[in-house]
Amino acid sequence: MSTSAELHAALVEQLTQDGTLTEPEWRAAAEGVPRELFVGSFFLPVPGSNPTACRPVHRGEPGWLERVYSNETLVTQLDGHIRPEDVTEGTVTGSPSSSSTLPSLVLTMWQQLGAETGHRVLEIGTGTGLSTAYGANRLGDANLTSIEYDPAVGARAAASLKAAGYAPRLIIGDGLLGDPEGGEYDRLIATCSVRHIPQPWLYQVKPGGRILVTLSGWSFAFGLALLTVTGPGEATGRFLPGYVSFMIARPHDRPPRQSLELLPGDERPTRINPEIISTWTGGWVAQLAAPSAERMGAGEQQILSDVATGSQARTMPNPDGGWTVVQRGPLRLWDQVESAVEAWQAANSPHQERFGITVSAAGQRVWLGAEDGPGWDLPI
Ligand SMILES: C[S@@+](CC[C@H](N)C(=O)[O-])C[C@H]1O[C@@H](n2cnc3c(N)ncnc32)[C@H](O)[C@@H]1O
């Protein structure tokens, strides 16, 4: 059986060999921070369960240490309050609300952020404190502030950071409001996702500074954006390669869903195959086009339900080929989605990395190709 030191060393070696750790300073951070001090018990999904059931894996049980030193995300809280310790027998269902993100992603993001010696950094979403510890190791305690929304999660992270010998500034609160004492930051990194870039970030990060955050919404689509602040309240940036998703910042989550009744509406044939919005970037384009809609259903049978207006759209295959869409309500959700998907297809259906974002007092816009290309306003 391997010791924790051996498992830790093997993980760092894996992250070096696979090209994650390109900078020696971040390799040193990965070596200096033992993940077992940050991840206690966690949840594992039960394969094949629907809805996904989770079983707790308790600190110290067989296999626990190997999982801790695997390059996997480990969920540590469900539905904003359920901890693995609360589940004494069987399994539980719920939405992940806190986790230790897979080390390769956290370390990649720190490097993408371009955080250098002497930079002051604001982190949003302390979680277990693992990413905070990497940052504190590399940048020094005095240069790092981390904000966590959930007081219980934040208290555990504080204890873990102390046990590991780090003392960055920790705040319990809503990171979307920025540092409550204000601040002039060089960099901001978020390990929860947002529907739009929060205004305080655009004033607390200095012009020339960078913001790394995942844009998301209510239809499970994501794009990791690296923005440069161009002036107070203004920023511009591009989306990065890869397939990154993060749980949505709690204040940006959708309101509780009422039961959904599918009602009759106007029918027409669709111009696109509805399956396209189940793909990674097709779903992203659909979410941009209908930003207050939730997407349900799958494949050829998509359901869009607009949280703001109650508008609905649903698609179905026709027996003789093609598809029909039924729409009702003030927003023609499918019309919006279809036009956006057609614009994206006209550009050869590129991945998110061909998209950019511009933020100013006038609004927040995600565009395709170039700033004057097809674009969609974010809900703010
Ligand atoms: C994916 S986890 C963070 C992972 C963490 N960085 C790590 O390495 O363990 C996301 C965290 O963001 C927190 N969060 C959600 N909304 C937030 C907000 N508005 N402000 C600060 N933290 C928030 C969640 O409570 C959760 O702990």
Atom of ligand 1 nearest to the CA of 150: 25
Q: Give residues with Cβ within 8 angstroms of 353, minimum separation 6.
A: 238, 239, 240, 241
Ligand 1 in reach of 191 Cβ (< 6 A): yes
8 Å CB contact between 214 and 246: yes
Architecture of the structural domain at 103-251: 3-Layer(aba) Sandwich (3.40)
Contact partners, residue 261, CB within 8 Å, separation at least 6: none
What is the reported pLDDT for 113? 98
Ligand 1 centroid to Cα of residue 1, in Å, is 33
List the chain domain ranges. 4-100, 103-251
The pLDDT of residue 173: 98
Q: What is the pLDDT of residue 257?
A: 79
Residue 102 alpha carbon to ligand 1 centre in Å? 14
Q: Is 145 in the pocket of ligand 1 (CB under 6 A)?
A: no
In this structure, how many other beta carbons lie within 10 angstroms of the beta carbon of residue 265?
A: 16
Kindly give the distance from the C-alpha atom of residue 193 to the centroid of ligand 1, in angstroms, as a whole number.
9
Please enumerate, as own/partner, the contacts of 291-296 that have beta carbons within 8 Å and a separation of 24 or more: 291/195, 291/217, 291/218, 291/376, 291/377, 291/378, 291/379, 292/218, 292/379, 293/218, 293/219, 293/331, 293/333, 294/218, 294/219, 294/254, 294/257, 295/218, 295/219, 295/220, 296/260
176 lines ligand 1 (CB under 6 A): yes
Q: Which pLDDT value is given to residue 364?
A: 98
pLDDT profile of the chain (380 residues), mean per 10:
93 98 98 98 94 94 96 97 93 95 98 97 98 98 98 98 98 98 96 98 98 97 98 98 97 87 94 97 98 94 94 96 97 98 98 98 96 96
Q: Whose CA is nearest to atom 14 of ligand 1?
A: 125
Ligand 1 centre to CA of 90 (Å) is 27
pLDDT tens digits for 101-151?
Answer: 999 999 999 999 999 999 999 999 999 999 999 999 999 999 999 999 999
